[in-house]
């Protein structure tokens, strides 16, 4: 075995939703006046504290301690849909303080990669515009301007000169307020980030584009303008058609003053299909009652039925049944079809257009909040099949215990051997919470996976304490969710 072959070189985390009330990684405190729990952005969550501590124990077993692992943040790191910017930013600072504490050795390398998701999509928009101004404006005002790109140009960003990498302006400004982190840089890749060794490629994507709801503007275009009907062929096309919808509803609307409070209620009700349908029923009655009086217009009920069909049956089916609320299978029909479309189509074309042109061997995504591993033979990559990993998430969002829901960290060594560290899955009792190393069911385990499994056993006291902390915090968040749904009923 080569020296350092079991060293952890990449750590991938997703869906932290820092700042969200229902995130296990956001600290809560009791309001002395109301007695209710609320977000405490100035203190660290016990789950976050335990998570970083135990990950640190794993990382410190690397043979080469001079080389720190690269941190890959796979989207929905900050909760920008349901938390104010300042709250999400402060909780992100608590994360930085745990992972790279002042006066101590940082856990991670000074180069960090961030792939925005739907809930922090607006950070991509700000990075994209900053990149355009910095790199693509010609020096002379009469020279033609390039069309702004909707994605980062290079999928294998590690191979790109630092000057051409896209920096995350907002996150870097936060991080550089710490003097000991002034040499650290967070680079943004969107919507895909790739690692390659020889002819192998591991691709990271937050995962929102595997769900059809994030193609909504494309769907409406096809309905309203059938002469334009076509499926987006490239990642750039897909983002260009849908970025405004993703940014509006999933990343900014929830922070829109009093309107944002109402949107938060909608988000909460979307987690309960019956409650969401009641909400749309109320909207149907309001629209029909406002514009068509039942006393003066005989077609009132027909009109109401038409609105009800459009809103309840079409919109509710899309919005109230997101993949993350599918509790019976790791990947529902819509997301399974979307995964095949995305990997075979837009992603394949982006890989083929780049240099080098490796074969896709592994696809890592989050978004669904349900960690899993599988092998899939995509037709565009028929040789051996592609290993697919999901990194789960850290938000409690179902009324009942959902054993498929949980969080994972994907770990890679220098050769891009990969393992999924399942950090928790929801369980009916505290004894059901445990930390395990997972991989797809075939082929056989790599030495890297075997090494990590032994290491988890060796460090079981740390991980058992972590599991008990998670179990307690899940119970607290679920009660908050139940109370919110009931109070808004």
pLDDT digits over 177-227, tens only?
Answer: 999 999 999 999 999 999 999 888 999 999 999 999 899 889 888 888 888
Least confident of 166-175, 300-309, 434-443: 300-309
Percent of the chain with pLDDT over 70: 82
Query: In which band, very low, low, confident or very high, does the pLDDT at 3 lie, cut at 50, 70 and 90?
Result: low
Domain ranges of the chain: 10-261+358-479
- pLDDT for res 380: 67
According to the model, what pLDDT value does residue 287 have?
47
Band (268; pLDDT cuts 50, 70, 90): low
C-alpha–C-alpha distance, residues 201 and 361, integer Å: 6
Residue located via tokens 């215990």: 401
* Average pLDDT rounded to a whole number, residues 142-164: 85
HSE (CB half, 13 Å, CA atoms) of 128?
21
More confident residue, 73 or 153: 73
Confidence of residue 294 (pLDDT cuts 50, 70, 90): very low
Of residues 273 and 235, more confidence is placed in: 235
Confidence of residue 273 (pLDDT cuts 50, 70, 90): low
**Per-residue pLDDT at 149:** 85
Nearest to 8 by CA among 354, 418, 403, 330: 418
In sequence order, the 6+-apart residues with CB closer than 8 A to the CB of 477 are: 21, 22, 23, 24, 395, 396
Reported as half-sphere exposure (CB side, CA atoms, 13 A), residue 301 has a value of 2
Per-residue HEC secondary structure of the chain comes to CCCCCCCCCEEEECCCCECCCCECCEEEEECCCCCCEEEEEEEECHHHHHHHHHHHHHHCCCCCCCCCCEEEECCCCECCCCCCHHHHHHHHHHHHHHHCCCCCCCCCCCEEEECCCCCCHHHHHHHHHHHHHHHCCCCCCCCCCCCCCCCCCCCCHHHCCHHHCCECHHHHHHHCCCHHHCCCEEEECCCEEEEEECCEEEEEECCHHHCHHHHHHHHHHHHHCHHHCCCCCCHHHHHHHHHHHHHHHHHHHHHCHHHHHHHHHHHHHHCCHHHHHHHHHHHHHHHHHHHCCCCCCCCHHHHHHHHHHHHHHHHHHHHCCCHHHCCCCCCCHHHHHHHHHHHHHHHHHHHHHCCCCCEEEEEEECCCCCCEEEEECCCCCCCCCEEEEECECCECCCCCCCCCCEEEEEEECCCCCEEEEEEEECCCCHHHCCCEEECCCCCCCCHHHHHHHHHHHHCHHHHHHHHHHHHHHHHHHHHHHHHHHHHCC
pLDDT, tens digit (0-9, with 9 covering 90-100), for 378-404: 876 665 689 999 999 999 999 899 999
- Residue 11 has a pLDDT of 98
- The rounded mean pLDDT for the chain is 86
Q: Which of 202-206, 235-239, 250-254, 407-411 has the lowest mean pLDDT?
A: 250-254
Q: In this predicted model, what pLDDT tens digit does every residue of 295-354 receive, in sequence order?
A: 445 554 555 555 555 545 555 555 556 777 788 899 999 999 999 999 999 999 999 888
Residues 60-83 have a mean pLDDT of 95
422 pLDDT above the threshold of 90:
yes
Q: Tell me which residue of 316, 308, 313, 309 sits closest to 271, measured CA to CA.
A: 316
Residue 466 has pLDDT above 60, yes or no: yes
Contacts of 214 (CB under 8 A, 6+ apart): 118, 208, 242, 245, 246, 250
Least confident segment among 57-66, 68-77, 148-157, 412-421: 148-157
pLDDT at 299 (0 to 100):
53
Q: In this predicted structure, what is the pLDDT of residue 304?
A: 52
- With 80 as the cut, is the pLDDT of residue 291 above it? no
């Amino acid at each position: 075995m080569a020296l350092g072959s079991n060293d952890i070189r990449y750590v991938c985390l997703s869906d932290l939703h820092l700042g969200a009330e229902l995130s296990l990684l956001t600290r809560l405190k009791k309001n002395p006046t109301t007695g209710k729990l609320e977000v405490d952005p100035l203190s660290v969550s016990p789950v976050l504290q335990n998570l970083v501590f135990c990950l640190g124990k794993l990382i410190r077993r690397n043979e080469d301690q001079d080389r720190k692992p690269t941190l890959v943040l796979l989207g929905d790191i900050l909760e920008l849909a349901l938390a104010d910017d300042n709250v999400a930013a402060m909780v992100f600072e608590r994360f930085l303080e745990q992972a790279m504490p002042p006066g101590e050795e940082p856990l991670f390398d000074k180069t960090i990669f961030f792939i925005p998701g739907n809930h922090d999509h607006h950070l991509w928009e700000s990075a994209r515009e900053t990149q355009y101004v910095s790199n693509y404006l010609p020096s002379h005002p009469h020279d033609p301007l390039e069309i702004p790109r909707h994605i980062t140009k290079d999928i294998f960003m590690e191979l790109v000169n630092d000057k051409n990498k896209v920096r995350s302006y907002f996150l870097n400004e936060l991080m550089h307020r710490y003097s000991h982190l002034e040499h650290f840089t967070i680079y943004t890749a969107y919507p895909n980030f790739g690692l390659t060794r020889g002819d192998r490629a591991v691709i990271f994507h937050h995962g929102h584009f595997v769900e059809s709801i994030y193609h909504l503007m494309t769907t409406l275009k096809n309905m309203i303008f059938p002469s334009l009907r076509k499926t987006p062929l490239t990642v750039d096309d897909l983002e260009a058609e849908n970025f405004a919808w993703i940014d509006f509803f999933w990343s900014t609307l929830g922070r829109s003053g009093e309107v944002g409070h109402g949107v938060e209620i909608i988000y909460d009700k979307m987690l309960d299909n019956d409650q969401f349908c009641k909400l749309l029923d109320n909207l149907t009655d309001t629209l029909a009652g406002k514009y068509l009086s039942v006393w003066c217009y005989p077609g009132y009920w027909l009109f109401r039925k038409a609105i009800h069909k459009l809103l309840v049956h079409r919109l509710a089916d899309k919005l109230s049944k997101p993949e993350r609320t599918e509790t019976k299978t790791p990947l529902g029909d819509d997301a399974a079809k979307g995964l095949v479309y995305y990997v075979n189509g837009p992603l394949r074309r982006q890989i083929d257009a780049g240099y080098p042109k490796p074969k896709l061997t592994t696809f890592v995504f989050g978004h669904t909040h349900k960690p899993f591993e599988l092998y899939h033979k995509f037709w565009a990559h028929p040789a051996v099949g592609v290993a697919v990993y999901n990194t789960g998430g850290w938000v409690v969002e179902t009324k009942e215990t959902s054993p498929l829901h949980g969080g994972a960290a994907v770990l890679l060594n220098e050769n891009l051997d990969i393992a999924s560290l399942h950090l928790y899955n929801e369980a009916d009792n505290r004894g059901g919470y445990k930390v395990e190393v997972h991989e797809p069911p075939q082929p056989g385990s790599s030495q890297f996976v075997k090494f990590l499994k032994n290491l988890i056993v060796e460090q079981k006291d740390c991980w058992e304490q972590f599991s008990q902390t998670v179990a307690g915090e899940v119970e607290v968040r679920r009660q908050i969710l139940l109370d919110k749904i009931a109070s808004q009923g």
